[in-house]
Structures are given as structure tokens and as C-alpha cells.
Structure 1
């Protein structure tokens, strides 16, 4: 590949130099970039009323040795979490989401789910850490755990750094890190600073590079069929873990849920159903 600007950026740069036939292909690829992955050269030619030779020539004009090189470029972008626009049907979304969820949950042994749920239920203290797109998943986990057990905190606090909080980690504290792709640069240094034997990582396949730095690694599938990553599988996995932790807590969890429910009513914090 000539550089790593991506197919769409190269089309924009070269557009005025393209022939009318090449522009027709370029227009189509700008509207449906993922067809570079899914369609053959002949299929792109048929959909744009051009020829295979014109399609191949366009990819060479864009700086690729072949269609296969352009395809690899798009795959690498989506695997890195870079949005690539695509038009899909509702059925496509449903099928992809179900696939992500199934692959995620089937890849984690039931014994490991139970083991981590027991840790979440019984640990004296839990710290959840999530940056950028991982933060909402960590926040969701905190919301569920706080209903069934005490001493759960979420880091980093808005506008705050992390170092002073890591200094206060107790020797019996469990750390759950949410680190999905497009992680900030500080992530690797943070992982080096955490105690491996007390750290659990929820991540996508790219985060497996950190599996030697933690006690448990749970891999979630975010998909690469759409422009933006899907967090249906991570959110569902959090729900599975927290539900199982709630079951393991027994009467202790029930008592806390009941007390919090009474406080909701007393404070009038929730809309009446």
C-alpha cells in the first residue's frame, strides 16, 4: 500500500483526476465502502455499469497494487474501530447483533462466568475503570453492582487524572478494566501499574495483547459490519455477570435491593410506573 489514508480519503484526493467511468465507481464506493470487502471486482463493475478493467485501474490510481490490497486496507480500518460508512437493512443489523452476542457468550466457559461473578459478589471493594467508549460500559456495570453490593467505584472521575486513585488501591480490591478498541495511549501504562492477580479485563479481540497482565480476560465481539462498533455484547456480558453475582449474594443482595427501592420511593427519584 502507498500509505494508510484509507480508500475514501484517497478517492477524495484523486477524484478530479479520475475518468467519468472511474468517478462512477468512486461515487459508488463512497456510498457503500464495505462492498470493497464483500464484492468482487466483477460485482463492483456490474453494479456501476463499468468493466473489471476499469475497477482494477481505479484501485491502482488510488495507490493500491490491487483490489485485494484495497480490501485489506478497509478490513484493517474496521478492525481498528475506524468508522466506515455502509448502508444495511434492519435484518442485517439484527443478524449481526445476534452473531456478536452468540460468539461472545459461547466463547466464555460457564465456570469462568461463575468464578468472576463470585469475585464481584464477595470482593470487599471493586474499582471499575473505563476510558472513552469503554466508559459507558463501566458505568453500566457500576449501576448494576451498586444495587446489590456496597463499595463499588468508577474511575476516572470526570476531569480527573488516575494516578492518585491508583495509589489508594487496597490490597483486597478487585479492579475491572473495560478496554475496547481505540484505547487511549495511557491504557498500556495503566495496565502495567495494576496488580495482575486482582485485575479482570473486558475487551475486544485486539485487547488480548494485555491478557498476560490480568487474571481474567473476557473477549467481546463488537463486529466490523457497520460504521460504528456495537456494544450490545459487552453490555449483555455485564448483565450476565451482575445477575449471577446477585444470585450468589442471596439474602444479602435482596436486602440491599429492597432498601434502595424504599429510598427511591422516599426520595421520589424515579417516575411512577
Structure 2
């Protein structure tokens, strides 16, 4: 029997997700709140109150907390662009892993449980960071920085304040430490002219801009050694840098915590100045004389 020569109809490509469907659930609720029924608004209010632990609830539990039916909760999920409660839980877990603010505990000093939870998470972050860098990579990174002809510290978005602080500490003992990008400027000017004798310290904690990889590409093309300070979400970039110093920023609060990251900055700066000990002492003494001559610092009490 001859085989059929009928041609299969190509599958219709799936329509791309709308911007609204890609938005965090809190934003979707805010944008659609006025159109929700009173019962759906009650369920939405409960969701907004539990954004920090939304991944732990199913539709029945949210219905019970809201005082509405499970059907109402399911209808709310569909109106917000979700198929079911499982998709909502997956969505909440994905957002928190990306550092998206989702609520968090209220840090009331009168509530010892909230303070204890915050302290426990901060200690966990600090222990994880110290465990990661205690294998000698911190000392190796400090040596690379201290011996570089020029150091360019780069930080974008939430990483910028950390980069600024690191540069301020390093410049106390190292002669040529630059921060990029300068306000209103781009990074290209600071990378131009760098060689293997220089160093780039790239601070890249989560919610990095889309051009982050291109910065790595540019520095790699110039053969500049890169020290990357980042959280675990940057592990995919680790094989592209000379040294990767990892530090979690997990938090029980609504936003990420950079306490351990600031501790890492202090460790890296201290180690770097120690490697360049003689030059650092000379430069620090010169800076202190200028502080005095310019009357820039308030005298000690």
C-alpha cells in the first residue's frame, strides 16, 4: 500500500506573553484591583499581605484566610493570568529567587520572633560567605588587586553602592582605583586602555542589568583579569572571571540584605591593603596629613 503523501499542517506558534502576564503578582493585582469583585478583592488583599510566603499556600488555604470560596480564589488567579495555584506558587518562588521585593516580615522590635528570624538569616549569609572565600581565593583576589597598575571597580543598580564603598576603601592605600560608571557616564571610557596588568572588580548582585554579560565580554577581550563579587545567581559567569567571590543576600524582609556583602567588601579591602602594606602605609599617612591641612574631618570627641 503506498504511503500517504499528505503534508502535516504546521503548528501555530504560541503567542508571546503580554507584558502584563510577565509582571509580578503584586503589580498585576494593583493594576486590576478596581475591576475585581468585592470577594476577589478580599482574596487579593490576603495575597498582598502574604507575598513573602505566598509559595506555601494553595487555593484552599488562601480561601480560608480570605473568608471566600475556593472558586473565587481560582477565578482571581485566572483574571491575573495564572492557570492555577501551583503556577502562582512557582511564580512566587521564581520572583523571590531573583530578588524581587515580595513583602517580608514586619521587623517590630517588640516581636522577638521577627528580630530573631532576621538575625538568623543575617548570620546564615555571613557564615556562607566566609565558608566560600576561606579557601584562599580572597587572598588571591587581594593580591591581584594590590599588584594591578590600575583597578576599575564596576557596580550597577543595587551593586553600585557596594562598588562605591569598595573603591573608597581601596583608594586609601592604592594609587589608581577608579569607579565606573561615573554619574551620567558609560563604562567604555574606563575600560579603554586596560591590559593584563590591570584589574576589574565587578560587583554583580542579583537583578543585574541585561548588559552585564557584555561588560564581561569587553574586559575579557582586553585580557583584563576580573574579580567578581556576586550572589549565587551569578554562578553561570564564574568560569569567565579570574576569581569569583560569592555572597548570599537572602533576607526574611521585603528586600535583599547586603550586610554580608558589605562585610565581604571590608575583608577584600583589608586584605588588598595588607598585600600592599608599605605603599599603603605611606599613602595613608599622606592622606591623613592632607585631611589635617584641609581641615576636612571633625576632630574626635
Same fold flag (TM > 0.5): yes
Distance 2:187 2:32 in 1: 44
> SS at 1:183's partner residue?
coil
Q: Which moved further from structure 2: 155-164 or 145-154?
A: 155-164
1:236 aligns with 2:263: yes
Measured after TM superposition, the shift of residue 143 of structure 1 is: 0.8
Task: Report the counterpart of residue 12 of structure 2 in structure 1.
Answer: none
SS of structure 2 residue aligned to 1:229: coil
Deviations 1:202-245 (A, max 9, x none): 12222222223211112221215433222222211111111122
Q: TM-score, normalised by structure 1?
A: 0.87
Matches of 2:257 and 2:251 in 1, distance apart? 9
Alignment of 1:69-148 (within 5 A): 69-89=87-107, 90-91=114-115, 92-148=117-173
More helix by share: 1
User: Which runs of structure 2 are paired with 1:55-74 in the superposition (5 Å)?
Assistant: 55-74=73-92
SS in 2 for 1:217: strand
User: Cα–Cα, structure 1 residues 42 and 123, in superposed 2: closer, same or farther, change >3 Å?
Assistant: same
Aligned to 2:40: 22
In 1, Cα distance between the equivalents of 2:258 and 2:104? 18
**57-66 vs 215-224, which moves further:** 57-66
**Mapped pair 1:198 → 2:216:** no
Query: Any unmatched runs of 5+ in structure 2?
Result: 1-16, 108-113
| Bigger mean CA deviation after superposition, 10-19 or 22-31 | 10-19
Partner of 1:218: 245
Label 1:61 to 1:162 Cα distance change in 2 as closer, same or farther (>3 A).
closer
Which deviates more from structure 2 when the two are superposed, residues 41-50 or residues 157-166?
Answer: 41-50
Work out the CA distance in 2 between the residues paired with 1:158 and 1:16. Answer: 40
What SS class does the counterpart of residue 144 from structure 1 fall into? helix
Moved more, 86-95 or 257-266: 86-95
TM-score, normalised with respect to structure 2: 0.80
Contact 2:200 2:224 in 1 (8 A): no
What is aligned with 1:8?
Answer: 26
- Matched residues in 1 for 2:189 and 2:146: separation? 26
Check whether the contact 1:135–1:178 (CA below 8 A) recurs between aligned residues: yes
Shift of 1:5: 2.3
Q: Residue 157 of structure 1 aligns with which residue?
A: 182
Cα deviation, residue 268, structure 1: 1.0
Residues 29 and 35 of structure 1 are in contact (CA less than 8 Å); yes or no, is this contact kept in structure 2? no
Q: Secondary structure at 2:158's aligned position in 1?
A: helix
Q: Does 1:179 align with 2:204?
A: yes
The question of whether the paired residues in 1 share the 8 Å contact of 2:201 and 2:226 is answered with: yes
CA distance in 2, matches of 1:155, 1:141: 12
